[in-house]
Amino acid sequence: MILGLLLALQGPLAVRPDTIRPHHDALHHDITILLGDTGTHIVGVVQTTWRLASAEPVEVALDPAFRVVRVLTDGEGERRLARITFAVNPGGGVYIPHKKQAGDTLKTSIRYHGPVADGLIIRTDASGRRSAFADNWPDRAHRWLPLVDHPSDKATVALHIEVPPGMQVIGNGVRSRVDTLPRGRTMWHFELDQPIPPYGIVFGAGRLTTTALCEAACTVKCVPVDIVTYPEDSAWALEGPFRRSRDMVEYFSALVGPFPYDRLSHVQSTTIFGGAENPTVVFYDEKAYRNQRLGEQTVAHETAHQWFGDAVTEADWHHLWLSEGFATYYAALWIRQADGDSAFRAVMARNAQSVMKSDATMRPILDTLATDLMGLLNSNNYPKGAWVLHSLRGVVGDSAYHRGIREWYGRYRHATALSSDFAAVMAEAADADLTWYFEQALLRPGYPRLEVRWRRKGRDLRLDLRQVQPAEWGIRRLPGLELEVDGRRVVVDVTGAETSVTLAGVRGDPKSIRVDPDGWWLMESTVEKSR
């Protein structure tokens, strides 16, 4: 049965609408960036090791504002890099020919320089303080780096960042050393041995201070955690949203699996987002820091991303719920762990309201017609994705759910996957055919709207349930739906548009009828007496 299910799930849940597909596999990026003393001009050298899929040229994207001054490759049978003839597309693509075949490895080196317009935000604030922070999501890494700007092309990274005097640097992975250069400049070196998606390749530079916290999750794997801020904001960060940041790492490590990297820094930065989940270095909006508007739930969300989105990455942008829905739900689970079940219910209720008020609910989560990547940052991929996981947990039970999540993380850590892969893992964990669940949850718009009418005859109470959502949203299956009648629970398997159940031994008209009292389903319901 499971084998047939695995084959069946390679259908619509495995859809890959993205137009960009990596032709070859980037294995490692060795990146050197030189920041000037003023302005937005940078000099970059990016050496990439590729595993070739064919004899086709290597093609990378790079903002056309940059001038590519040199391209080198290792030739056939050669050990050293040699200058080659390359082509630059007016739209920004760099084409690199080679004489190798599928399965071979190839090393390329691209040297370029020019002003940065986006992706790496270089600026001077009102106080004259100069900073530079990478802000790549979703596909803005190629605005300052030559690479295949797609989440499926994960690679390990080494960063070498040269900055003017007085600037400190934070980057992916572990800092190996800092070199002192002439005129007070410094070169900062970082290495990350785990492959990460292009959007997560970042560094930050500025007048920064680092506050180390105690290591977290040592019962699973010790993880150094620190907070990197502008000096004047360090005290509030410790007292406010990051006071339980170590506990988050410990909780997710125990619940999901070992932390995927060697350290974690929470960084005050320049970003267009409230938070950006870069592997090992989460960036947060500096204004939210300064105005003390950064909340703990945002920190929990970005921390959960280290497992979901960074370590396990969607292979196609249209499966973004595998990142954002997971991070949203696990931030809610953290709230339950830290503040109790009532706080968790309140978070999930707000998530439900966000879905119901959004125009995005008119489209399915796996929206093959979506072309605006920024537009994917919507209620479908965040709160509705969280509800997909919550309802799934209600369907299969806690043990099967958490077993499946741990297997999902263990199987696809440092790799990429699609919704079909997740559905298959959860089916294995539950030992059940869940095709129906994932198809209705991911491929249909909207959510169920249930109308419940009751009528009493003698000591029998009849409950008639009817789904009244728009026809284009489809009819939902709601197995094990509970109704609570004056404190008495009754279970109903909703399998069609109309379902009825009779409750015997009822004395008088019901004073209270609650639908789904424990809140397992994203739904709206009304209850009234039959006329």
Span 458-486, pLDDT tens digits: 999 999 999 999 999 999 999 999 999 99
* Predicted confidence (pLDDT) at residue 333 exceeds the cutoff of 80: yes
Label residue 511 by pLDDT band (50, 70, 90). very high
Q: Mean pLDDT in the chain?
A: 94
Percent of the chain with pLDDT over 90: 86
Domain boundaries, the chain: 22-207, 225-307, 313-442, 449-529
Q: What does the pLDDT read at residue 219?
A: 85
What is the average per-residue pLDDT within 16-38? 94
What is the average per-residue pLDDT within 124-133? 85
Label residue 2 by pLDDT band (50, 70, 90). very low
* Predicted confidence (pLDDT) at residue 96 exceeds the cutoff of 70: yes
Q: What does the pLDDT read at residue 352?
A: 98
Between residues 388 and 219, the one the model is more confident about: 388
Burial class (CB in 10 A: 0-12, 13-18, 19+), 23: middle
- The pTM score is 0.95
**DSSP letter at 308?**
B
What is the average per-residue pLDDT within 200-210? 96
Highest mean predicted confidence (pLDDT) among 82-86, 289-293, 320-324: 320-324
Label residue 10 by pLDDT band (50, 70, 90). low
Q: What does the pLDDT read at residue 354?
A: 98
* Predicted confidence (pLDDT) at residue 240 exceeds the cutoff of 90: no
| Domain pair 225-307 / 313-442, same fold | no
What is the average per-residue pLDDT within 124-131? 82
What is the average per-residue pLDDT within 247-272? 96
Label residue 1 by pLDDT band (50, 70, 90). very low
Token readout for 282 is 């989460």
What is the average per-residue pLDDT within 152-174? 97
The single-letter code of the amino acid at 433 is D
On the question of a cis peptide bond just before residue 164, with omega within 30 degrees of 0, the verdict is: no
Q: What does the pLDDT read at residue 393?
A: 98
Measured between alpha carbons, how far is 408 from 423 in angstroms, rounded to an integer? 10
Q: What does the pLDDT read at residue 76?
A: 55
Q: What does the pLDDT read at residue 8?
A: 43
What is the average per-residue pLDDT within 78-83? 69
DSSP string, 380-434: IIIIIHHHHHHHHHHHH-HHHHHHHHHHHHHHHTTEEE-HHHHHHHHHHHHTS--
Q: What does the pLDDT read at residue 238?
A: 75
Helix or strand run (H / E) with residue 59? strand 58-61
Tell me: the pLDDT tens digits for 422-465?
999 999 999 999 999 999 999 999 999 999 999 999 999 999 99
* Predicted confidence (pLDDT) at residue 372 exceeds the cutoff of 90: yes
Q: What does the pLDDT read at residue 9?
A: 46
First to last CA, the chain: 46
Class level of CATH domain 449-529: mainly beta
Query: DSSP strand E in 138-212: where?
Result: 155-163, 168-171, 174-180, 186-196, 203-206, 209-212
* Predicted confidence (pLDDT) at residue 6 exceeds the cutoff of 70: no
Class level of CATH domain 22-207: mainly beta
Q: What does the pLDDT read at residue 79?
A: 59
Label residue 31 by pLDDT band (50, 70, 90). very high
Measured between alpha carbons, how far is 341 from 263 in angstroms, rounded to an integer? 30
The single-letter code of the amino acid at 269 is S
In CATH, which of 3.40.50.300, 3.30.300.20, 3.40.47.10, 3.30.2010.30 is domain 225-307?
3.30.2010.30
What is the average per-residue pLDDT within 381-388? 98
3-state secondary structure 91-151: CCEEEECCCCCCCCEEEEEEEEEEECCCCEEEEECCCCCEEEEECCCCCCHHHCCCECCCC
Given CATH 1.10.390.10, say whether it is the number of domain 313-442: yes
Measured between alpha carbons, how far is 248 from 530 in angstroms, rounded to an integer? 49
Tell me: the pLDDT tens digits for 521-531?
999 999 999 98
Label residue 78 by pLDDT band (50, 70, 90). low
With tokens 């389903």, the residue in question is 521
Between residues 293 and 381, the one the model is more confident about: 381
Task: Map residue 152 onto helix, strand or coil.
Answer: coil
Closest by CA to 245, choosing from 262, 273, 229, 226, is 226
